[in-house]
């Protein structure tokens, strides 16, 4: 089979060697995650972790069929018991999040319930451990918030263990008669050998249990509630049945208390029959030794925070709390996923089908996530922003995560932009977003990180060992980065030399006011009203400049000039930084702004109409109507896209256009506010307009941290270089930075949450809760750490 490539060349749809479609054929080069730096001691030390960001608290190993632990608890809602398990994006739970996390072996989280506070801590210990990955412990502190004169109510916690490989789990002998210490469960696995889970508490606890044999962990809370309901109908008591199915691979332990309680749960593995120090191992992971270990990790976290971000002398204590929550939640949100992506692949040219997809190869992904309750999965363009923060904390984590993403590249150099791997990830995403389209890209933000690392080596920010690891990584990554660039430079190229446009916009829709550009990452940001191949997107042109310039830097820095590469990066970077050509293609003198180009009319509306469906029934729906004839022109919408040449510092420091950009940024009638820069100008015809009946405005006014960070970064740059406008840039920089910090801290003080975006008129947090994610870039704004170009 053959097809036309985006460049017009004949391209086989099947990989000759395997006769499988190219779109699901892995890129043929050694995997980055196979590098020695990610093996041996490193691999074992990072084996266990809080790698389940989608649940309120969970532990797993970085292996496809892991032993999994988690915590649930009961709350009353409308007079009925409801189980908390998977993170929800609602205000039922006042707030939750990691106050501290080091990304490796320690984290402390607080969850504020209506009438109690839960504190969950996780810590690993290699001392005395014999099993692969070491021993680890969980501490659960329960603080009842009811007043003393109120009736005490029981708190019902449900701690569970599940073997994803369906290996049998053995129930402990004394789980119903817990005193100070008891074995909850035990078992044996190939990876860690014989293991035991112990519970220890000085408080009075009532315990019950139930066991299930099922591979389905996603619906575990439902199974537990069914068990509770059945028991309540029998006995009138809200307690588990104290029974289990044969060969259960999941055990759930109900732990009930009415007091302020501290519960320690310790996992030990590699147990030998002749082991005589078992009691010592358990004691070192519970009680006072655990308290000492957690305090030691807490002190180390604070010391490293000060070392990495140097904020202690700069900012007020309440600001530092937000900074620590930003990095803690970012690191605590790192997850491990395993599964197969669904890739769009039409089975027939005549009709669409729900089965028009192929499965990618089975793959694992170690990655940060944007938001635990709303987006607990990997997003390609988000990850570059995540790593701008993470590498400053732990460059080894960054290298491994970037390597995981680049290993997902197919033979054509394409990486699926959204990773939905495994049943738990699949359970948290609307069906329409699961299938990935191989024609669609996502901004190559990973190159922002790679450029940062190269500049970090040049400025001697790394010790010799870390420097060597980065160089080794780049040496192997280069061929994949080269293929990735080529994919963009062929599949997203425009008609004019030096032009690009995001593919994937719907050119036949009659339901969207302005067809979305999901691949750009800016979703409903206004583009040309009538998508076609004449479009030119200024943001993608600038991303391509960054990519070409970064690749050229790697090539020069690594001495890669003697190997075969597919592109002349120096020439491409020179073309895309050509200021005259950029202005010819995208600059509008009347607005003093950079704009997209395409087939556009402003005369488009959503109107209510009666629609006749195929089955004959009528419905009243919002339908797009065009009243004016579209024409090829610059698209008159000022917003984040307009500032990409400014963000990527293509504008010369002495250009009068820079002065006009500074005027646009600081104009309170356009994008400036007391809380940050708006995503779309107040003067735009689509400012805060719904895109369809059910698509609320998203990038049409709201304040987003990633774009504010990029603009702030360039304000800082232009304030430090020689030129007639550096003083003006400095003034705007200082005010914008102050506005962003003040608003995020104010919202955090009020809600305990860092938000996805912030309201354009009031500055209140909106969208996904616990979005730490790129909103955590507020920490780099506090510390004034910006990427270099």
Give per-residue pLDDT as tens, 109-122: 999 998 899 999 99
What's residue 414's pLDDT? 98
The one catalytic residue among 44, 191, 466, 523: 523
Active site residue 110: no
Residues 6+ apart with CB under 8 A from 727: 719
pLDDT tens per residue across span 551-608: 999 998 888 665 666 689 999 999 999 999 999 999 999 999 999 999 999 999 999 9
Reading phi first (left if > 0) and then psi (alpha if -120 to 50, else beta), residue 341 is in beta
CB atoms within 10 A of CB 629: 9
Task: Look up residue 785 and give its two tokens.
Answer: 């750490």
Place of tokens 């104009």: 667
Is residue 523 flagged as an active site residue? yes
Under-50 pLDDT residues of the chain: 1-10, 149
- Scanning 648-725, the segments in alpha helix (DSSP H) are 656-665, 705-720
C-alpha span between 581 and 197 (Å, rounded): 66
φ and ψ at residue 296, rounded to 5 degrees: -60, -45
Catalytic residue, chosen from 105, 512, 756, 785, is 756
Cα 210 from Cα 199, distance rounded (Å): 16
How far apart are alpha carbons 181 and 196 in whole angstroms?
A: 13
- The predicted structure's pLDDT at residue 704: 98
pLDDT at 14: 60
Backbone angles phi, psi at 727, to 5 degrees: -70, -40
Helices assigned H by DSSP within 12-54: 40-45
Residue closest to 729 by CA, chosen among 660, 775, 641, 788: 660
pLDDT in tens, 316-350: 889 999 999 999 999 999 999 999 999 999 876 76
**Pair type for strands 170-171 and 181-189:** antiparallel
Q: For residue 5, what pLDDT is reported? A: 42
pLDDT value at residue 550:
96
Is residue 549 within 8 Å of residue 444, measured between CB atoms? no
For residue 381, give Cα distances in angstroms to 285, 569, 652, 780: 39, 22, 27, 18
State the Cα–Cα distance between residues 122 and 264, nearest whole angstrom: 10
């Amino acid at each position: 089979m053959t097809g036309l490539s985006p460049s017009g060349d004949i391209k086989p749809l099947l990989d000759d060697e395997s006769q499988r479609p190219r779109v699901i054929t892995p890129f043929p080069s050694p995997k980055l995650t196979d590098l020695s730096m990610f093996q041996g001691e490193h691999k074992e030390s990072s084996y266990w972790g809080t790698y389940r960001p989608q649940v309120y608290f969970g532990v797993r190993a970085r292996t496809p069929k892991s032993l999994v632990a988690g915590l649930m608890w009961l709350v009353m809602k409308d007079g009925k018991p409801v189980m908390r398990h998977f993170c929800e994006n609602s205000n039922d739970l006042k707030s939750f999040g990691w106050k501290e996390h080091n990304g490796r072996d320690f984290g402390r989280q607080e969850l504020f319930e209506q009438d109690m506070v839960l504190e969950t801590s996780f810590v690993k210990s290699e001392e005395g451990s014999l099993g692969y990955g070491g021993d680890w412990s969980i501490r659960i502190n329960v603080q009842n918030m009811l007043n003393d004169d109120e009736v005490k109510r029981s708190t019902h916690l449900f701690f569970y263990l599940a073997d994803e490989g369906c290996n049998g789990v053995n129930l402990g002998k004394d789980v119903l008669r817990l005193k100070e210490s008891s074995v909850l469960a035990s078992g044996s696995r190939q990876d860690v050998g014989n293991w035991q889970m112990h519970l220890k508490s000085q408080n009075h606890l009532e315990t019950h249990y139930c066991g299930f044999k099922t591979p389905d962990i996603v619906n575990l809370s439902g199974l537990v509630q069914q068990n509770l309901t059945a028991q309540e109908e029998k006995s009138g008591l809200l307690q588990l049945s104290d029974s289990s199915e044969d060969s259960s691979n999941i055990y759930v332990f109900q732990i009930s208390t009415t007091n302020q309680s501290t519960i320690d749960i310790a996992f030990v593995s590699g147990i030998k029959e002749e082991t005589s120090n078992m009691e010592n191992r358990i004691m070192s992971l519970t009680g006072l030794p655990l308290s000492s270990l957690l305090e030691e990790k807490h002190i180390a976290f604070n010391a490293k925070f000060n070392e990495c971000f140097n904020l202690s002398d700069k900012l007020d204590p309440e600001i530092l709390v937000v900074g620590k929550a930003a990095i803690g939640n970012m690191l605590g949100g790192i997850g491990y996923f395993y599964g197969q992506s669904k890739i769009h692949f039409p089975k027939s040219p005549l009709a669409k089908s729900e089965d028009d997809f192929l499965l990618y190869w089975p793959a694992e992904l170690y990655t940060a996530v944007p938001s635990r309750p709303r987006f607990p999965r990997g997003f390609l363009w988000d990850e570059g922003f995540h790593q701008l923060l993470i590498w400053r904390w732990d460059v080894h984590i960054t290298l491994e995560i970037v390597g995981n993403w680049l290993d997902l590249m197919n033979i054509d150099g394409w990486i699926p932009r959204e990773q939905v791997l495994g049943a738990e990830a699949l359970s948290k995403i609307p069906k329409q977003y699961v299938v990935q389209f191989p024609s669609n890209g996502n901004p190559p933000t990973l190159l922002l990180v790679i450029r940062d690392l190269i500049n970090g080596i040049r400025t001697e920010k790394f010790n010799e060992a870390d420097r060597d690891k980065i160089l080794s990584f780049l040496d192997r990554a280069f061929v994949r980065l080269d293929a990735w660039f080529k994919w963009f430079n062929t599949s997203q190229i425009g008609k004019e030399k030096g032009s690009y446009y995001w593919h994937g916009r719907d050119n036949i829709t009659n339901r969207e006011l302005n067809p979305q550009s999901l691949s750009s990452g800016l979703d409903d940001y206004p583009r040309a009203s009538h998508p076609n191949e004449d479009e030119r997107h200024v943001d993608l042109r600038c991303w391509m400049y960054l990519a070409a310039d970064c690749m050229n830097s790697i090539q020069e820095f690594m001495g890669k000039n003697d190997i075969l590469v597919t592109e002349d990066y120096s020439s491409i970077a020179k073309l895309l930084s050509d200021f005259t050509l950029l202005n010819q293609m995208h600059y509008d003198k009347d607005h003093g702004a950079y704009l997209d180009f395409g087939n556009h009319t402003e005369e488009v509306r959503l109107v209510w109409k009666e629609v006749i469906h195929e089955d004959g029934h009528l419905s009243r729906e919002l339908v797009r109507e065009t009243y004016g004839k579209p024409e090829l022109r610059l698209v008159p919408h000022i917003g984040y896209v307009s500032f990409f040449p400014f963000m990527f510092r293509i504008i010369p420091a002495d250009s009068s256009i820079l002065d006009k950009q500074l005027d646009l940024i600081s104009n309170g009638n356009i994008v400036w506010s007391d809380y940050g820069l708006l995503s779309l100008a107040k003067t735009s015809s689509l400012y805060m307009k719904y895109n369809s009946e059910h698509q609320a405005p998203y990038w049409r006014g709201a304040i987003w941290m990633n774009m504010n960070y990029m603009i702030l970064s360039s304000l800082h740059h232009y304030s430090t270089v020689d030129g007639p406008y550096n003083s003006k840039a400095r003034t705007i920089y200082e005010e914008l930075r102050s506005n962003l910090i003040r608003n995020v801290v104010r919202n955090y003080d009020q809600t305990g949450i860092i938000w996805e975006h912030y309201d354009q008129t009031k500055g209140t947090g909106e969208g996904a809760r616990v979005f730490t994610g790129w909103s955590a870039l507020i920490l780099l704004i506090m510390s004034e750490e910006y990427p270099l170009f």
